[in-house]
A and B are shown apart, each in its own frame.
Chain A
Amino acid sequence: MNTKTVGVIGAGTMGAGIALVCIRKGHQVVLLDANQAVLDKALAYLQSILGKDVEKGKISEQERADTLARAKLVSDMEQLAQCDIVIEAVPERLDLKKSIFSELSRICRADALLLTNTSSISITQIAGGLPHPERILGFHFFNPAPVMPLVEVIRGKKSSEENVQAAYRFATELGKVPVLVTDTPGFIVNRIARPYYNEALRILGDHVAEVEQVDRIMKRAGGFKMGPFELQDMIGIDINFATTESVYTDFFHEGRFKPSRIQQRMVQAGSLGRKTGEGFYDYDK
């Protein structure tokens, strides 16, 4: 495996996790965030996780220091000029992503792979109108990125086959399991998982079964690790609702993806799940 210089844009939970995955595999990482406090937190996170790796005997103190030294934290985008690959992991806002890829198109080499970690925005739309759209692809990690093995490699309308293959290989080199998907709403996972939540909500709304019953049935009859309501509470009901709305809109309102009023009311009430102490279940606040 050849060592690459990987830029990671956005040092929040996703970005810091992706940076960790990359430095652990020997790549040089330039982790970018405009906010110094976020960068400081990301550095503390990397130090903490690698410190735990030493405590557990997974790596030596020297390896810890070497791994950490591969991460360079920056706040100036021009520093990404030498990157072979850039992975963008900023919040899911089209305007933000478009402006970042526009900047990257100017700053980076024409053969640099430009990847977006979006879970819900069209790759084709992000790349649209930019020079060299053939190098722009989706590269969707799952949260938490260091733990979850899957990466969806998403082929935009203008992504080249060569670059799709390169991104696929890169995911494999990171120790991840890549899957290939064309640029359709929700890609694979967020699309096919929609009925797990939506139909459970429908069943609840029609009083076919109640929250605890549905969760128990899906675990005991179906072998799912978590019931759909427990899972919504863990993901965040607002996040789950936003994903459903996005898939629904992008499919031009096909009935299969119609969001649930129950879920909408919970978002309106601020009952967002574990993070607010209450969702479909009550948690200790």
Chain B
Amino acid sequence: MTMTNKAVVLAGTSPLFAELQQLFTEKGYQVLSVAEAAAEPAAVSLAVEVSNLDLQQKGELIRALDSLLAPAVPILTTSLAITATEVASWAQHPKRVCGFGTLVPLAERELIEIAPALQTAPATIQAAEVFFQSLGKETEIVADEVGLVFPRILSLIINEAAFTLMEKAATASDIDIAMKKGTNYPYGPLEWADRIGLDEIFAIVRGLQRDLAEERYRPAPLLRKLVLAGRVGVRSGQGFYTYESKVGVKA
């Protein structure tokens, strides 16, 4: 097969999945599911795994990829809700596991963060950089901690906005207006959360609380309940706001 050296596996349930699938395809990669890769594992040059909310499922996917693919094939995994080091600890070949983090919509991300696990081999880090740069993104290597830099800071801003809304200190729309007009944020935190997916934001805040065990990272109860109710934002038609249709306009 002519495309064999550019075949990549994409696995996981994050909203990133669909956008990465599209981006990989646009950049000439052949995108395989885990099942498809199982039929021809030798063709795969790299794997990307993007589950954040369900860590048990993430573990199953990482173990499946790790046993399926040759030991030198890099496995890039989102370290938004868990450290790359912990993910790598699940693998028989931890040197090939490397964390990364970004949030949808990818079109707005000029830069993607890479967080090597303590176990990651230098060759894996380099492969991760080359891969993301081949997608047209800049890269920045940061230390391995849940949520990396941008997703962590933004999630905590959104979490605080959720507390503010929960306390009825202000309406959702006034909160968003205030942050855009008062500090020039590109989006209001609540509309931003709806676009990214409340499940992703919740996974990050909960991951920080789980790993760092501080009151500082307590998820806002309202955020947690919205996720449990399936109101994860634009994608589901309802989040902090209600949408006319799944791609619709703020009601």
Bound Cα distance from A171 to B216, whole angstroms: 35
Q: Mark A167-193, 1 if CB is under 8 A from B, else 0.
A: 000000000010111101001110111
User: Which residues of A have CB within 8 Å of B175?
Assistant: 179, 188, 192
Nearest residue, chain A, Cβ from B145: A208
Q: List residues 103-161 of chain B with CB under 8 A from any CB of chain A.
A: 108-113, 138, 140, 142-143, 145, 148-150, 152-154, 156-157, 159-161
Q: How many residues of A contact B (CB 8 A)?
A: 44
19 example contacts (A-B, Cβ-Cβ < 8 A) are as follows A142-B182, A150-B181, A179-B178, A182-B170, A184-B167, A188-B178, A192-B189, A193-B183, A196-B153, A199-B156, A208-B143, A213-B149, A217-B142, A217-B149, A221-B149, A221-B150, A255-B216, A256-B156, A256-B218
Bound Cα distance from A223 to B150, whole angstroms: 10
State which size class the interface on B falls in: 35 or more
Query: What is the interface of chain B, defined by CB distance below 8 A to chain A?
Result: 102, 108-113, 138, 140, 142-143, 145, 148-150, 152-154, 156-157, 159-161, 164, 167-171, 174-175, 177-179, 181-186, 189, 214-216, 218
Bound Cα distance from A50 to B237, whole angstroms: 49
**A218-B149 contact in complex given A189-B183, A209-B143, C-beta closer than 8 Å:** yes
Contact call B110/A193, Cβ cutoff below 8 A: no
Contact call A224/B186, Cβ cutoff below 8 A: yes
Contact call B138/A194, Cβ cutoff below 8 A: no
User: Which residues of B have CB within 8 Å of A223?
Assistant: 108, 186
Contact call A221/B110, Cβ cutoff below 8 A: yes
Q: List residues 216-258 of chain A with CB under 8 A from any CB of chain B.
A: 216-218, 220-226, 228, 254-256, 258
Bound Cα distance from A200 to B157, whole angstroms: 11
User: Which residues of B have CB within 8 Å of A189?
Assistant: 178-179, 182-183
A-B complex: 7 closest residue pairs judged by Cβ atoms: A255-B215, A195-B156, A220-B111, A179-B174, A150-B181, A189-B182, A255-B216
User: Which residues of A have CB within 8 Å of B113?
Assistant: 217, 221
Bound Cα distance from A179 to B173, whole angstroms: 9
Contact call A254/B111, Cβ cutoff below 8 A: no
Residue A162 at the B interface, CB < 8 A? Answer: no
User: Which residues of B have CB within 8 Å of A188?
Assistant: 164, 169-170, 174-175, 178-179, 182
Residue A65 at the B interface, CB < 8 A? Answer: no
Known contacts A206-B145, A256-B218, then 19 further A-B pairs from the complex at CB < 8 Å, ordered by chain A residue? A142-B182, A150-B181, A179-B178, A189-B179, A189-B182, A192-B160, A195-B153, A199-B156, A208-B148, A213-B142, A217-B149, A220-B109, A220-B110, A221-B112, A222-B186, A223-B108, A223-B186, A254-B215, A255-B218
